[in-house]
Amino acid sequence: MPAPPAPRYTARVISPAALFARIDTRFALFYGAFYLGFGAYLPYMPVWYAERGLTPELIGIAAAAGMVGRVAVAPLGAFWSDRAMRRRDAILAFSLAGLAVFLAHIPDSPALVILVLAGLSGAAVTGVIPLVDAFAMGQARKEGFAFGIPRAFGSALFVIGNLGAGALISAFGGEAVLVWVLGGAALTALTAAFLPAGRIDAMPGTERPASPPLRILLGAGLPLAFAASALIQGAHGFYYAFSALAWRADGVPAWAIGALWATGVGAEIIFFAVWGRVLRGWSPAAMMALAGMMAVVRWLALALSPPLWFLFPLQGLHAFSFAAAYLGFLRYAADHAPERLAATAQAVNSALSGGLVLAGATFVSGLAFAAFGTAGFAFMALPAGLGGLCALWLTRRGR
């Protein structure tokens, strides 16, 4: 009797067309394009400002103008997104506006015009972040894909943008920043056009609940969540503005400073990729409480000017001080804010954490660095600890 034929196993191959049709792929492409340009915009626009002749004082004003633009415009974009029939429309409009503003940077302009463009670019670039985060998180819940994977792809492209733009600057000077940022803005607008529509079809007779948006956002513990996220995220002010200067003063070589920043982003990527499995049983408030606790440890340890080898594991705590707080708030808002206010909740959080609180922390950090040097990191433990306490209060409220 002949033996039965051995079973045949064939690998499952996904065609490029089928892969692109997936919603998580389209979000990953958008996040990748956006953070590819943002990886050059965030650290290197001051280099371009200096190339165009702005003094250090004016460069500081330009940076502040970008923060003001974020605070002013992000809530308006969220208001539009939450009331549009398609969530993609606001994201595409912000992406096209960003491309237009960066094109306006090309001609030689007086300092006042550059300051205005700085405010507009800050509004367009950072204003899109809460819109796409709210949209992607909502689609992840509906379609059953892991939000962290597309967002991790964005973080990976941020590193490429940082390193690639840095190499271009070394070879061609500060004007190369604008070239890279323009390329990223064009890719962002292109990928925004291919995002899912995100239609919001109101049922007859249920177009708008009676409760006003402000009352809804002030309920269900959202003020505590806003406070926790803003305080923990805003406590990165010293790190963003003065870590390179502090480490250089402590004798850390330039290559190591770049490697330290890359280590922080790498830890963030790993957290985004695996957080759903590792912290599956954790509540969003507990994730933010963990972020606050680890942020306090990070800032106090960095204030002691540890040796270079110890700086790398401390940079690994960025996975918690940033990524856990970021995803914890996203999950909390998705659970407690209605879908029609999803973008508004994220915009309020963005305006607080990346605008008002971060601006205040950056101002205090300047005074702290001038007076205490690297020890100024310790001042960031206070807002981080307060944010952690708000998150702990939120966990008790949940129980």
Residues 78 and 109 in one domain: yes
Structure tokens at 252: 């850390």
Domain membership flag for residue 87: yes
Q: Which residues contact 222 (CB under 8 A, 6 or more apart)?
A: 332, 333, 336, 337, 345
220 and 192 within one domain: no
Residue at token pair 């409009």: 93
Q: Answer yes or no: is pLDDT of 8 > 70.
A: no
CA dihedral (306, 320, 346, 129) in degrees, to 10, reads 70
Domain with residue 50: its CATH number is 1.20.1250.20
Domains identified in the chain, total number: 2
> How do residues 38-72 score in pLDDT, each as one tens digit?
988 887 888 888 889 888 778 778 877 877 777 77
Quick one: pLDDT band at residue 11, thresholds 50, 70, 90? Answer: very low
Residue ending a domain, choose from 169, 198, 227: 198
- How many other C-beta atoms can be found within 10 angstroms of the C-beta atom of residue 129? 20
Same domain, 164 and 253: no
d(CA 189, CA 343): 19
> C-alpha angle 129/133/137, rounded to 5°?
175
Q: How far apart are CA 59 and CA 378, in angstroms?
A: 26
For the ranges 25-34, 136-145, 193-202, 322-331, the lowest mean pLDDT is seen at 193-202
Per the DSSP assignment, residues forming a β-bridge with 86 are 199
Average pLDDT, the chain: 84
Nearest to 321 by CA among 377, 277, 255: 377
Count Cβ atoms below 10 Å from residue 231 Cβ, excluding itself.
27
193 and 299, same domain (yes or no): no
d(C-alpha 187, C-alpha 99), whole Å: 9
pLDDT at position 9, please? Answer: 42
Residue type, 178: L
List the domain range (segments joined by +) for residue 191. Answer: 22-198
Question: Would 207 be classed as within a structural domain?
Answer: no
Considering the domain architecture, whether residues 218 and 189 belong to the same structural domain is answered as no
% pLDDT > 90, the chain: 37
The answer to whether residues 345 and 220 touch, using CB atoms and an 8 Å cutoff, is no
Classify the C-alpha dihedral 64-67-71-74 as positive or negative: positive
Structure tokens at 331: 């999950």
Looking at residue 17, its pLDDT comes to 64
Closest CA to 228 of 390, 395, 393: 390
Task: Band the pLDDT of 182: cuts 50, 70, 90.
Answer: very high
Q: Which residues, at least 6 apart from 40, have a Cβ–Cβ distance to it below 8 Å?
A: 161, 162, 164, 165, 177, 180, 181, 184
Instruction: Give pLDDT tens digits for 365-396.
Output: 888 888 899 999 999 999 999 999 999 998 88
Q: Output the pLDDT for position 214.
A: 52
Are 98 and 194 in the same domain?
Answer: yes
The model carries a pTM of: 0.78
CB 394, CB 221: distance < 8 Å: yes
Beta bridge mates, 199 = 86
Torsion of CA 35, 39, 42, 48, to 10 degrees: -130
Structure tokens at 251: 């004798």
Query: Residue 387 falls within a domain, yes or no?
Result: yes
Distance of CA 154 to the CA centre of its chain: 9
Q: Is the pLDDT of residue 219 over 70?
A: no
Which residue, chain included where needed, has tokens 């800032």?
Answer: 299
CA gap 300, 296 in Å, rounded? 6
